[in-house]
Amino acid sequence: MKKLLLVLTVLTFGVGMTFGATVTFNVNMAFQIDLGNFDPASDFVDVAGSLNGWGGSDHFTDADGDSVYSLTVDSVAVGGIEYKFRMNADWGTAEGDPNRTYDVVDGANDIPVDWYNRQEPAATASVEALLQVDMSVQLLNGNFDPDAGDLIVVRGAPSQYGGWGGAIAMTEDPNTANVYIIINQFDNIPVGSAVEYKFVILTGGDPNAAIWEGSPNRSWTPNGAEEDTDDNGYGEILQPVEYFADITPDDIIMQDVTVTFSVDISSVYRALAAGDTLIDTQTGSDDIVAWSEVAGVCINGIMSQWWGWGTDTTCVGEWAMTYEDTFKYSFDYLFTAGQAKNQEYKYGVNSLDNESGFGNNRHVLIDDAAATYVAPEDCFGETNTDTNLPFPQLCAPLAIEEMPGIPTEYTLDQNYPNPFNPSTAINFSIAKAGAVKLTVYNVLGQEVKSLVNSARNVGNYRVMWDATNNNGEKVNSGLYIYRLEAGNKMLTNKMVLMK
């Protein structure tokens, strides 16, 4: 028994050793000291990474005063780690990307010395940099209102920019309306080393209510040959006037514009008539299997207002489109000055996400030359790439469609759907080539619409009636009779239009 306990103790100790590696980190701070970024008397270095939850608290030391700072960490798990060196535990002055990496092995690990932020000593230059940002677009779209206390500030790694969480305010150029500027002096900046920054709006002047630029970091880079026109010892870097977030007047609407969106859903009818099913790509369910289940069409996504799909299945709410004609729906929206010209949107039958795959949205570029703009008509599903949806399908007037099969007798099917609104399909079969007439009558026997009046070959056919008369006018709700005349046959059925 004693031998067994001894073996278990040894095994347990051995397993524990795989988590007992020591790692010594080393970083050369000499260049940061020369640049004035690090003061050995008051500043400290630490390491933050996967080994300590990205929040190290132990300080490095420089025992021999050679500006190489070191720290040994015990009980580091064997395997890969990621980390960064920081000054004063401040992420604003931490090393840039990418993270450093190291594969820890069992026992003692001594990571070779590297320069802080991978910046090796190089020629330096003292410069003063002028930054300029045009805020006219942000004023127009309401993102920036200096009268309400909003500030435009610059944020960046250098202390002159207050770090990435600072609030160094810019001032309006006295010579150019809506352009804000700032000039800062920098001593001993490494030649060829980029200084990154961003413009940030502080709503109400609150540093915690920041609107950041979505564009990549901006930067300037000294080359050591900057001209010093005022002989103050600083070469001059003049950054061009840039629009906040790089959104220019060409990207926004300069006057209010009412945009008309329109969509043809005859493609939906064709898909359902062929036996296909519309599903909601968000849920994989909410099936629509018949034309009679189509209640309407909604539009989603305008001005990034992505409401929850399926919340208006009858399509009567705020984003419901207006029925215009057979298979045609429209929607008007007022875009105001300052809003983006490029708008994203998507249609949905019964307010479901069933036009195309997830994220497969439409875009329209608004023409703001006039107060109204009619966008090109869309065909429902034409942009789809999701194989779970039966699109794209043809969008075109549904006149007389030939159906599969060779009939042996004349037939006139019950229209579908019935009752109907706004349109219905009538299927009929011709057993012998010849003249064919298909006509709709009212209950008084008066002709309302001639649907077919031509010679037809043997075959099965489908024709749509859109509840209009021969003059193209919409007819009233009520009972209608439709009659097929072909060969020596006369077949009749009834249908109900219910609005």
User: E strands within 203-341?
Assistant: 210-212, 218-220, 235-243, 257-264, 297-300, 322-325, 328-335
**pLDDT tens-digit map of 153-188:** 999 989 899 999 999 999 999 999 999 999 999 998
Q: What is the predicted pLDDT for the residue at 395?
A: 81
CATH topology of domain 257-379: Immunoglobulin-like (2.60.40)
Residue 9: pLDDT band with limits 50, 70, 90: very low
Q: What is the predicted pLDDT for the residue at 409?
A: 96
Residue 446 above 80 pLDDT? Answer: yes
Region 146-150: what's the mean pLDDT?
98
Q: What is the predicted pLDDT for the residue at 398?
A: 65
**pLDDT tens-digit map of 340-388:** 999 999 999 999 999 999 889 999 999 999 999 999 999 999 999 999 9
Q: What is the predicted pLDDT for the residue at 470?
A: 86
10 Å Cβ neighbour count for 414? 12
Residue 19 above 60 pLDDT? Answer: no
Q: What is the predicted pLDDT for the residue at 402?
A: 85
Q: What is the predicted pLDDT for the residue at 13?
A: 41
Residue 11 above 60 pLDDT? Answer: no
**Contact indicator for 429, 459 with CB cutoff of 8 Å:** yes
The backbone torsions φ and ψ at residue 320, rounded to the nearest 5 degrees and listed phi first, read: -75, 135
Residues of the chain with CATH 2.60.40.1930: 400-497
Q: What is the predicted pLDDT for the residue at 7?
A: 40
Return the higher-pLDDT residue of 9 and 136: 136
**pLDDT tens-digit map of 206-248:** 999 999 998 899 999 999 999 999 999 999 999 999 999 999 9
Q: What is the predicted pLDDT for the residue at 474?
A: 87
CATH topology of domain 124-250: Immunoglobulin-like (2.60.40)
Average pLDDT along the chain:
92
Residue 16 above 60 pLDDT? Answer: no
Residue 80 above 50 pLDDT? Answer: yes
Return the higher-pLDDT residue of 147 and 270: 147
Q: What is the predicted pLDDT for the residue at 273?
A: 80
**Contact indicator for 288, 417 with CB cutoff of 8 Å:** no
Residues of the chain with CATH 2.60.40.10: 18-118, 124-250
Region 61-88: what's the mean pLDDT?
96
- Please name the CATH architecture into which domain 18-118 falls: Sandwich (2.60)
CATH of 400-497, one of 3.40.50.300, 3.10.290.10, 3.10.50.40, 2.60.40.1930: 2.60.40.1930
Closest-CA residue to 374 (of 267, 473, 298, 263): 263
Percentage of the chain lying above the pLDDT 90 cut: 76
Q: Is 122 helix (H, G, I), strand (E, B) or coil?
A: coil
Q: Which amino acid is at 107?
A: G
Residue 3: pLDDT band with limits 50, 70, 90: very low
Residue 404 above 90 pLDDT? Answer: no
The two three-digit tokens of residue 461, written as one number:
């056919």
Q: What is the predicted pLDDT for the residue at 2?
A: 40
Least confident of 29-33, 273-277, 398-402: 398-402
Nearest-angstrom CA–CA distance, 461 and 217: 63
Q: What is the predicted pLDDT for the residue at 426?
A: 95
pTM, to two decimals: 0.53
